[in-house]
Chains A and B, each alone.
Chain A
Amino acid sequence: MAIDRVHMPELPADERSTNFEEVNLGLSADQALSEAQRCLQCKTRNCVAGCPVGVSIPEFIDALACDDLPKAAQILRGDNALPAVCGRVCPQETQCEALCVRGKKGDAVAIGYLERYVADWAMLHPDRLLKEAKPASTGKTVAVVGCGPAGLTAAGELARMGHQVTIFEALHDTGGVLRYGIPEFRLPKEIIDREVAVLADLGVTIECNVIIGKTLTVAELTEDFDAVFIANGAGLPTMLNIPGENLKGVYAANEFLTRVNLMEAGRREDSATPILQRDEVAVIGGGNTAMDCVRTARRLGAKRAMIIYRRGEAEMPARVEEIKHAKEEGVEFVMLTAPLAIVGTENGWVQALRCQKMELGPADESGRRRPQAIAGSEFDIPAGIVINAVGTNANPLLTATAPDLKLNKWGNVVADDEGQTSIPGVFAGGDIVRGGATVILAMGDGKRAAAAIDQYLKR
């Protein structure tokens, strides 16, 4: 009889919705072994094509199925600089697992869970890992701008090629969105620390508190380094442009999450950074950022934590797992509802979100059904905090002082498939090129750019 796809053990919803502990508990050794045996080791290897960093999926799963964890870890680590992160936050259902042959009849192999299992094992058993041979130094230096997923991946790849890498990070800590954006209940900060430590062991230098465009310019970097990789990320929050946006209690998702995740506001009793806590919290948007905000608000004590989205649940860009987890934790989903204004008290505090009901019309260019307002359907949702999670625009901080760097009309850096920008020797990838996208796409950019930089340095 066929083995069923493994289930990830989770903290019970009523327990986890009051704390920031990781929700997914990870597979047991028996679960991992039996799930690994579900892989057919097919010749087509579609799963690999579905992975933006091209992890040798059948190979690492085979090593795991043979109970050779050191080998599985070595294969994984060779292809992916951040496996413990990817195993947790990648949308596998639309990438590797979507193309798994087993998924055609039944459930795809739980590749993400297995990646996480192997990466977590490797972190706990450094003494059992096969020693990585230090590459011979090429004598070339590379500056990486930004310590997020794209920058960390590129740095890992380049260091393994023997180049001397320095990462410049504007914030006081590493990880970019992994640190300030994704909450601990999805990605414990300890995981980032350990992944970053692996890079440090490879000889990568990380300098925090250096803002490229301000502390140093791209021109200065091109003078001091043989090549530059720009991966400074997500940028400025997109404004809602509705009345009441500047009332007290209105947050952009980045501010709300940065306060809680990076600064530990509301998470640690003695954190010096404050955060507002209210009974009713309305989060506008339907992506993973919106889910992170609303689940965080719930953990900070909101009695009603609500998602306000102008389309329906089926159209939400958030991962199915995040939506499921949010619902289990008591988050309310207010669908087909668009905000019109934020209503304040006399003293300038938010008191409600004025909305109107929407219905789905014909599909637009992107193939999604366009929401249309229903006349006369305006209503108020009481809320003490409103969080804007509708997206971000490119941040001009770096590009404002790099006049030779070509930008598109949205202010994103123009780069070809290999990350080459309009300046020779300067490459770019991740959200500064794509606009707001995913961790794994940024990592794919970092990996491809590293290969292109290596070629460039050998010329």
Chain B
Amino acid sequence: MKGMHPEQPCRFAGVNFPLYQGDEESMKVLVAVKRVVDYNVKVRVKADNSGVDLANVKMSMNPFCEIAVEEAVRLKEKGVVTEVVVVSIGPNAAQEQLRTALALGGDRAILVETEAEVGSLTVAKLLKAVVDQEQPQLVILGKQAIDSDNNQTGQMLAALTGFAQGTFISKVEAAEGSFTITREIDGGLQKLALKLPAILTTDLRLNEPRYASLPNIMKAKKKPLDVVTPESLGVEIRSTLELVKVEAPEERKPGIKVASVAELVDKLKNEAKVI
């Protein structure tokens, strides 16, 4: 059947399949999380223009990935999903973010460990390899990572897997054999029906992520976390992009404080000439 998972029988594709059927039916969701510089940190460009300085900077789970984990856990709490597998691609330290995801309700974790800089296309290929192994019916990612600001990986993964795609979602409703999703688009909202298997990318309005409780943080330490390598997944890390340099943005020239509305209007009319 076109567009369905290559090996998995299309159990969720038939329109007559009731999603909330008995316990023997399992639905696995894979959630991708990224370790990024904390969103509150104002990053500084390195003096040699080779990149931004991330030494001794606080790192966290990308905010959109937190929303993705939260949605997966909520789907599990609603009985739509039976297993939540979290995956990250990055350095050994990304285990911290995976443990956080486990503390938030993930069942087990996979780290594809690499110290290399990996672009969105390579990440999508690595995730495709994990999807082939894990056979999830649903993959949830954030809409973009706040470091590269690419907004590509989910869409690329959809293209590589042939899964349906729902990006920038602010609402998910499980229906029989499909998901109804609401997307945030320019000018408003759009509702789509997606056949499973599907890829979803989260927008800010989807949910409010919970905090990990101390008991859950302790429990998360005992949950399984597998570490694999790109080589073991058969994916070569390569890129058609070369980072030439990174610069600080142009500084705006310092502004002035005006004392009154009248002075402001005068400046806008006669100095800036914008009204």
**Do these two chains interact?**
no
Which B residues form the contact surface with A (CB < 8 A)?
Answer: none
Interface residues of A (CB under 8 A from B): none
